Structure 1
Amino acid sequence: MKTLFFTALLFISTFANAQEISEDLENALQNDNVTELKKHITSKNINNCFKLEESEYTLLTLSIKLNAKSCFAELIAQNANVEKTCNNKTPFMYAAKYNRLTMAKALVKAGVQIRVRNSDKQSALDFAKKYERKEFIAYIKSFNQ
């Protein structure tokens, strides 16, 4: 019973921390519109987890998912947290999942830790393997040499 209670509490607290993404922010990212993005990001929301559909994303991870290259670059320039985890994935893990090698290299340049594992013990390399991202796998493996 105690385990069930704590599991329910964890589930509720996870979703209580995330907020709905505004239509303006979502549109800015979908259209890779930096000017519009700048109007809506603040130091208070740049690293928040936002609910979208059935998942949670930071603005940085959404820019990766949507391949919004200009917005991604702006978020990096504004010091978005490159290690922030939402939905049990870091931005580097999303880059692996969506095969965004150029973005992954920018994340490494920004100081991301490439060998970080999530609570399920998965790393970006595990995501690259799962989604058969050969170039990404080779890139991550190049750090072992």
Structure 2
Amino acid sequence: MKPSQTLKKTIIAVFTILSAIMYSQELTNEHKQMLKYDNTAYFSTLINKENINACYQIENNSYTLLGLAIKMNSQQVFQKLIDEKADLEKACDGKTPLMFTAKYDHTEFAKKLLANGAKKDTKTDKGYTALDYARKYEKPEIIKLLE
């Protein structure tokens, strides 16, 4: 292998690692408490333009704050994120918030996302939509909503 090819591969590898580090942020204890107790009292001190649509690594998965609010059924935090114009199409680990509503069976969240402009036909890298997830997890109300 030529030295220029080795250098190019090294640069690509370093860039990939740095991108992964920058792509996923760590969720602070304050963020976790806000989501766990569905408390928006400190929302404005915790959430800003730089982190509202960030991907946060939780165990082996990555979520936006909107995705985490759906997963944890944090209704007030969810609404505050909608009000603050969180990106409804932001995908972490390939899944959008609407896909998480199907996975976690939160029909009311799905309705609010759709009412605020979330797209039913957004697809993952593998071509799955929120409807596909609703079918996979056997969520009849969300299936009906998305059909």
User: Please, which runs of 5 or more residues in structure 1 have no aligned partner?
Assistant: none
Match of 2:131 in 1: 125
Match of 1:82 in 2: 88
Match of 1:25 in 2: 31
Shift of 1:38: 2.8
Q: Which of residues 31, 39, 48 is equivalent to 1:42?
A: 48
Shift of 1:43: 1.1
Aligned length: 139
Going from structure 1 to structure 2, the CA distance change for 1:11 and 1:134 (only over 3 Å counts) comes to farther
Match of 2:106 in 1: 100
**TM-score, scaled to structure 2:** 0.86
- Does residue 63 of structure 2 align to residue 57 of structure 1? yes
Going from structure 1 to structure 2, the CA distance change for 1:129 and 1:28 (only over 3 Å counts) comes to same
Identity of counterpart residues, as a percentage? 36
Q: Distance in 1 between the 2:13 and 2:139 partners?
A: 35
Shift of 1:8: 6.4
What are the Cα deviations for residues 82-108 of structure 1, in whole angstroms up to 9, with x where unaligned?
Answer: 000001100000011111110011001
Shift of 1:27: 1.0
**TM-score, scaled to structure 1:** 0.87
SS at match of 1:74: helix
Going from structure 1 to structure 2, the CA distance change for 1:129 and 1:53 (only over 3 Å counts) comes to same
CA RMSD between the two structures: 2.2
Q: Distance in 2 between the 1:134 and 1:106 partners?
A: 17
Alignment check: 8 A CA contact 1:29 1:37 kept: no
Match of 1:69 in 2: 75
Highest Rg: 1 or 2?
A: 2
